Structure 1
Amino acid sequence: MTTTSPAGVFDRTHRRTTVGLLMLITFIAFEAMAVGTAMPTAVAELDGLAWYGWPFSAFLVASVVGMVAGGDAGDRRGARVALPWSVAVFAAGLLTAGLAGSMAVFVAGRAVQGLGAGVMIVLLYVIAGQAYEPALRPRLFGAFSTAWVIPALVGPVVSGLVTTHASWRLVFLGLLPLIVVGALLVVPAGRSVAAPPSPAAAAPARRWWAVLTGLGIAALQYAGQRLDALGLALGVAGGAALVVGLRPLLPRGTARVRRGLPAVVASRGLLAGAFFGMDALIPLTLTSVHGYSATAAGIPLTAGAIGWAAASNLQGRFPRAPRERLLRAGFALVAVGLAGSALAALPALGGWPAYPFWAVAGLGMGLGMPSVGVLLLDQSPEHRRGADSAALQIADVTASALCVGLAGVLVAAATTGLLPLPTAVIASAAVFTAVALVGVRVAGRASAPVAGGAPAAASTLAAS
């Protein structure tokens, strides 16, 4: 008697697609993590110190535009047309940045990279929704999280070694052949899934709103580095641009965390903002308050990444577990991790709380982030899956930028003597912990609105 093994994300049907998706995510993540290590050397060689922040801002603004463009393309034609172009654009950006002979060309290359990455990351969600049945999505998103987290462990180290012993240009050019391999694996999957049966009408105006949103984020980030009248003006202008630009790009009711899809998108923003705001402060706290080496200060981030990967894979083993409950548990663990890590800012404690508590925060992200992805695909209608996936990514980027910017303002105040650095860190952590606790309260709203006596998402899963 023979038995048929249950379908999985690495079975014969899905193996090539899964490997290709994971490769592309890993390379996008590696580039995001590694570029910061190579940037000082690149800027020095290109005589562009005055432009230091521009490569980061150019990538960010262009990626927001790419997310919207990718969502529109996914809804109109599916991934089969846009995915090869997005990979080609990202590769062109890598090539331009890697061969740049001036800072202006380097910044242009980073912008092209951001555009391609924004389109690509949204289309990967579209493929996930079309090529994988609902029962497989928890495991798939667990693998996605692992593919995003692993570069956080090795990216800066590899980039540093390559930059030191070879050339910073290889951080960009070295990924080109690997990107091609990933594309060859996943592009056939994009072609095999059918285009949406009812293509959405094109909305070119959305891309201009995306430009406005990206510029607003960049302005707020830059304003956070200044404590003068110009910084205040930029902050006000950036905040206004953000409010105006985001409104057409997010599901109606996102700001009010309305039940269903708006709450799913809002939850992604709350998770990302709370976690990454504190993530940026931990190494600074350990080095500046306690005198730790850069290596020792990075160990908590490694512990958080390991916790994230472990919990992501754990939740994938329970595809029928209610996603909103896992999301609530994720928010609770992030809140505990944030509050505990804040204790590392107290000089008397020596910084040790950051080590165990940031691992706890990582566990929370590993439960929460995949659950948000599953909830989005369960509730997003096929003809809007691209736009909704773009909204998810935009909420992530925006909230992360806002929280990191807030931390930057408080740290800048500490460097000018307005308050002690431990106070700035604890105040930031208190805000981020409050954000995570808001997530605990609203996570239940991420389930689909009740229709016919049962949540729609639960009915979809039960039918799988």
Structure 2
Amino acid sequence: MTGAGAIDASATIWDRQRRWVTLGAVALIFLAAIEALAVTTVMPVVSAALDGEALYAVAFAGTLATSVIGMVASGAASDSRGPRAALYVAVVLFLVGLIVSGAAVTMHQFLIGRLIQGLGAGGQTVALYVVVARLYPAHLHGRVFAAFAAAWVVPSMIGPFLAGAIADYLDWRWAFLGVAVLTAAAFAMIAVRLRGVDLGGGEPLQRRVFAMRLVLSIIVAVAAVAVGLSAEAVPAIGWPIASIAVVVIGFAMLPLVPRGTLRAARGLPSVVLMRGVVAGAFFAAEAYIPYLLMERFGFSATLAGLALTFSAFAWAGASALQGRYGERLGNTRIALISLGLVLVGLIAVLVTAVLGLSPVIVVICWAFAGGGMGLVYPRLTVLTLAYSDAGDQGFNSSALSISDSGGSAVAIALAGLGVATFGGGAGAFWFVFVFAIALVLLAAIPGLRLGHAAEQS
């Protein structure tokens, strides 16, 4: 198999040359989706079982934080030696993390597993992006990422509900251990299919530059975890700690993202910035959706998963539409439509939480937010690759994912700190959704400055 540049433009992602690579990559995305949806559903049960409610937000933020380290390492390795080895190492770390979390008997052991899992998840994402860039022509990139999004369809239909049922009727541990078994099978398949495939290479690894970026990514991860742990302190101490940690994250991320990202410069910097801000808004809110339904409205874990089911299904459907009509809609229009849909979902959940309206509103309206994310997420990925060349595909893909995970980790951690500040429990959940709404409004700034590269959907 040859690189993307030598592949006929009439090829498809399911042709004879690529079908097994596509299947293997989609399988890994599928299982990552199962795990992500399962964790969000069962976390209220896990935190109660392991007496770790104070560390609820850290269980999400910590994984996202360490994923930044995996992204940096995977991006550098992919640019210099190709993405194969980076992908293999990342999948193994993901597996180890799942096993440690599933076997944990204390909340701290569970968190260790989540941190390891984050290393693998971050590296896997970047490596798969580079595989796409190296093996598929540009006009198929949108279709590949639409296929990745479609890999969320079955998990979105059964994942949250199944995870809740497992927690209610079996044991929450199988939400992790079961995914580990399936991931091992998918890994075996893709390892065989990628053997002998030309994934290209790049410039020799600049060790000094790589070491600096790795240290900075560790600083970002440690600071993000510090924001989450600050919820265990009294607010008078927790907020200053969190504020300092956020400033540290901002400075540490500067060399890890394109120049001009924090000031929303037009083009790639705004693409990367928007990804982080909108991801922070959505995932900070979604982490508390099942918690809200279970604490405020008495839902079981099984029923609480329905809100995530409809949202993820809408995400996948909107992603497919973007893959087909994204070029026609244009980047600015997609950005504004997506932000509007996320805003509708957040406002509906906020009003329901504050006024005690029917929880059915949460289940239905959160799908609007999922649809908005489904429109913008693959579009931002396509734009990132369109702004990249062979020498910086790994760096730019890494930057996009770092912004995604870093923004989500900080937002979730700050949301948890806010909940703790206002007394914890369902009565303080309003802070999460107000905070998320503010982030969506902020995301409109880079959303209007995405520019146009040679992207094709």
The bucket for the TM-score relative to the shorter chain is 0.7 to 0.9
- Of 412, 415, 419, which aligns to 2:420? 412
| Structure with greater Cα Rg | 1
Match of 2:272 in 1: 265
1:259–1:445: 8 Å Cα contact kept in structure 2?
A: yes
Gap change, CA 1:9 and 1:42, over 3 Å in 2: same
Q: CA deviation at 1:255?
A: 0.7
Question: Are the equivalent residues in 2 in contact too, given 1:263–1:445 (CA < 8 A)?
Answer: yes
Larger CA deviation: 379-388 vs 339-348: 339-348
| Equivalent position to 1:421, from 407, 427, 436 | 427
Q: 1:83 is matched with which residue: 52, 68, 87?
A: 87
Write the deviation string for residues 370-412 of structure 1: whole angstroms up to 9, x where unpaired: 1011111111222111121121112112222233234333333
- C-alpha distance after superposition, 1:306-354 (max 9, x if no partner): 2111111122223643344323321222223323333223426444543
| 2:376 alignment partner in structure 1 | 368
Query: Residue 380 of structure 1 aligns to a residue in which SS?
Result: coil
Distance 1:274 1:28 in 2: 21
- How far the C-alpha of 1:155 sits from its partner, in A, is 3.4
Are residues 215 and 166 of structure 1, via their aligned partners in 2, closer, same or farther at CA, if it must alter by over 3 Å? Answer: same
Moved more, 171-180 or 366-375: 171-180
The 1:196/1:329 distance shift into structure 2, 3 A limit, reads farther
**1-structure distance, mates of 2:185, 2:302:** 33
2-structure distance, mates of 1:357, 1:58:
28
Displacement of 1:295 after TM fit? 5.1
| Among 10, 21, 27, the residue aligned to 1:23 | 27
Report SS of the residue matched to 1:254.
Answer: coil
Q: Secondary structure at the match of 2:260?
A: coil
Identical positions, percent: 36
Larger deviation, residues 322-331 vs 284-293:
284-293
Structure 2 counterparts to residues 300-319 of structure 1, below 5 A: 300-318=307-325
What amino acid does structure 2 have at the position aligned with 1:405? Answer: A
Q: How many Å apart are 1:199 and its aligned residue? A: 4.2
Counterparts in 2 of 1:320 and 1:189: CA distance versus 1, 3 Å: farther
Q: Does 1:392 align with 2:400?
A: yes
Cα offsets for 1:204-244 (capped at 9, x unmatched): 12111111101111111222454434423431342233123
Unpaired runs of at least 5, structure 1 = 449-455
Residues 226-375 of structure 1 mapped to structure 2, 5 A cutoff: 226-289=233-296, 297-318=304-325, 320-321=327-328, 322-347=330-355, 349-375=357-383
Aligned to 1:134: 138
User: Would the alpha carbon gap of residues 401 and 350 (structure 1) be closer, same or farther in structure 2, given more than 3 Å must change?
Assistant: same
Residue equivalent to 2:217: 210
Offset, 1:153: 4.6
Residues 64 and 409 in structure 2, CA contact (< 8 A), matched pair in contact too:
no
Q: Distance in 2 between matches of 1:369 and 1:237?
A: 30
Aligned partners of 1:362 and 1:345: how far apart in 2? 19
Matches within 5 A, 1:194-209: 194-202=199-207, 203-209=210-216
1:12: which partner in 2?
16
Aligned partner of 2:386: which letter? D
- Relative to the length of structure 1, the TM-score reads 0.82
Distance across 2 between alignment mates of 1:400 and 1:115: 15
Higher relative contact order (CA 8 A, sep 6+): 2
Query: How many aligned residue pairs are there?
Result: 445
AA aligned to 1:231 is G
Residue 387 of structure 2: aligned partner? 379
After TM superposition, list the pairs within 5 Å mapping 1:430-441 onto structure 2: 430-441=434-445
Alignment partner, residue 450 of structure 2:
446
- Check whether the contact 2:278–2:440 (CA below 8 A) recurs between aligned residues: yes
Aligned to 2:3: none
Q: Residue type of the partner of 1:129?
A: A
> Taking structure 2 as the reference length, what is the TM-score of the superposition?
0.83
Please tell me whether residue 147 in structure 1 is matched to residue 151 in structure 2.
yes
